[in-house]
Amino acid sequence: KDPVLSAVREMVWHGWPRSVDAPYQPFFVRRFELSVDCGCLVWNNRVVIPQPLQSEVMCLLHEQHVGITKMKALARSMVWWPQIDNCLEQTVRQCEICQSTKSLVPLAPLSSWKWCTSSWERIHLDFAEKEKKMFLLAVDSYSKWLEIRVMTSSTAQSTIETVRSLFASHGLPTEVVTDNGPQFRAKEFEDFLLANGVKHTLTPPYHPQSNGSAERAVQTVKQSLLKQLLEDQRNKSSRSLQHRIDNFLFAYRTTPHTFTGQTPAELFLRRKLRTRLSLLKPNLQDAINAKSERNVRSANKRRSSPRVFSVGDSVFVRSVRGELVKWRPGKVVKVKSDMAYLVVVDGQTRFVHADHLRHSCAKPAVVKEYDVPLPHASELLESESFLAPASNRPLLDRSDGCPLARGAQNASTSEQSDAGSPVLPRRSARNKRKPDRL
């Protein structure tokens, strides 16, 4: 039923001419790779699908909504027709199910934390689990000094006791940054920080990049403990967990940090430990600010343009709870920071990062014309009311833009007289000259 494929099959059997028309060009360039198998036209190992059957084959390829890449891989192993890749891409773009379950939008630009001017001014807390043990990690934002405390449980009360021990050793910080773990959101923990005059900052849920210092420390600790465990197995030695933690902390605190260029001990303790390393840069703050800006600019080249939202904006909110629809409409009610917002979604207020938001197009407002249009300036000049005394001129009400009745000083008398007198048509007051007739 496809005349093009029928003609191509005949040419495959009996030979190709020197030139063909436009509909046969896709087959002509592949003429040495085409063959006929059981009456079906085959290109390499792919069956050439006739035009009437292409839509049905497309439905079979898109039946499970596997996406463009996997649809192309499946089609390239079974079937072919001219412009098949474009057909597959167009099918996915027009599928509402595929678009509603689309992956995350491009990441928002980086926003660095405010640079601290002293040690233990702002600390980042997070939990790590290794070898069936819980660790509470505290990272100083200024010096990158790291504290590790082994815990038997991660309840709010146990967390308060461990944090109290840290405060007793190093003093009270100005700010504590944590994720949205249940122990950090507990009322007991909030009251504990409030009683000690410490500001508590929560990062947006499901966005560990906002607490990057603590998350990076968790990965570093896990990797170090694993390396020491493998080393013990190779050397057939047995060191306790606390022994391995102490070894890691000593090496970490006496090694120059890649971000600051100095060791955490030199910045935190204000003295050098028994190492052969010295200060690398005299002006630390300027160097860190410049390096932070370079890192932000370098990372922003791979990210989207800034997405700024204001209170009252209509947005789409990324669903992170495994729902079928990944984007739900919402409305911004408060701006918490440059990258964090409070959004009302389905009647509930959610704390959302900018990476989980995108703008929603709202309908433009309808502008209505005034019911009574203002007169043109030329009409006012020619009108008798404009040439009348000031006491008899109509006034302009600023509230609605319409002329008031004449005689603003005696409004009631003027209204009665105007109601009884007929409305006379306006006549031109210019001098008229009769035309010179032949």
Domains of the chain plus CATH, in order, are 3-100 (1.10.340.70), 122-298 (3.30.420.10), 314-359 (2.30.30), 377-420 (no CATH)
Q: Which pLDDT score, from 0 to 100, does residue 384 have?
A: 52
Query: Along the 438 residues of the chain, how does pLDDT read in single tens digits?
Result: 778 888 888 888 888 888 888 888 888 888 888 888 887 888 888 888 888 888 888 898 888 888 888 888 988 888 988 989 899 999 888 888 888 887 777 777 766 778 888 999 999 999 888 878 888 999 999 999 999 999 988 899 999 999 999 999 999 999 999 998 899 999 999 999 999 999 999 988 877 777 777 788 888 888 888 888 888 888 888 888 888 888 889 888 888 888 888 889 989 998 888 765 454 545 667 778 888 888 877 776 766 667 788 898 889 888 877 777 788 899 999 998 888 999 999 888 999 888 888 888 755 444 445 445 555 555 555 555 545 554 444 444 444 444 444 444 444 444 444 445 555 666 667 777 777 776
Q: Which pLDDT score, from 0 to 100, does residue 153 have?
A: 87
Element (H, E) at 146: strand 146-151
Residue recorded with tokens 């900052």: 201
Q: What would the 3-class secondary structure string for 152-187 be? A: CCCCHHHHHHHHHHHHHHHCCCCEEEECCCHHHHCH
Pairing of strands 175-178, 199-202: parallel
219-248: b (≥16 Cβ within 10 Å) or e? ebbeebbeebeeeeeeeeeeeeeeebbeeb
191-212: b (≥16 Cβ within 10 Å) or e? ebbeeeebebbbbbeebeebbe
Q: Which pLDDT score, from 0 to 100, does residue 17 have?
A: 87
Q: Which pLDDT score, from 0 to 100, does residue 201 have?
A: 92
For residue 400, what are the CA distances in angstroms to 370, 373, 374, 407? 9, 11, 11, 19
Yes or no: say if 110 and 299 are a contact pair by the CB < 8 Å rule.
yes
Q: List, in sequence order, every residue forming a beta bridge with 350; answer none if it has no partner.
A: 343
Residue recorded with tokens 């035309």: 435
Q: Which pLDDT score, from 0 to 100, does residue 433 have?
A: 75
Rg (CA), the chain: 39
Q: Which pLDDT score, from 0 to 100, does residue 305 have?
A: 67
Our CA dihedral for 336, 341, 342, 345, rounded to 10 degrees, sits at 180
Look at the pTM and tell me if it is higher than 0.75: no
Q: Which pLDDT score, from 0 to 100, does residue 114 have?
A: 83
Residue recorded with tokens 């027709």: 81
Q: List, in sequence order, every residue forming a beta bridge with 349; answer none if it has no partner.
A: 344
Residues in the chain: 438
Q: Which pLDDT score, from 0 to 100, does residue 140 have?
A: 92
